[in-house]
Amino acid sequence: MEIVEVKGKVFRKFITREKIDQVVNTLAGRINSDYAGENPLLIGVLNGAFIFAADLIRKMEIPCQISFVKYASYTGTQSSKKVTELIGLNEEIKGRHILVVEDIVDSGITMDHLLKELHKYRPLSVRLACFCLKPDAFVKDFSIDYLGMEIPNDFVVGYGLDYDGYGRNLPEIYKLEN
Ligand code: IMP
Ligand code: MG
Which tens digit of pLDDT belongs to each residue from 22-51?
Answer: 999 999 999 999 999 999 999 999 999 999
| 74 has pLDDT over 70 | no
- Across the beta sheet with 125-133, the strand order is 78-87, 65-75, 41-46, 97-105, 125-133, 146-150
Q: Which of ligand 1's atoms lies nearest the C-alpha of 103?
A: 10
Helix (H, G, I), strand (E, B) or coil at 173: strand
Tell me what pLDDT residue 80 has: 60
pTM: 0.93
Average pLDDT across the chain, whole number: 93
Q: What percent of the chain has pLDDT over 70?
A: 94
- The CATH code that applies to domain 21-154 is 3.40.50.2020
Nearest ligand, measured from the Cα of 110: 1
Confidence of residue 1 (pLDDT cuts 50, 70, 90): confident
User: 138 CA to middle of ligand 1, Å?
Assistant: 11
User: 140 CA to middle of ligand 2, Å?
Assistant: 16
| Domain boundaries along the sequence of the chain | 21-154
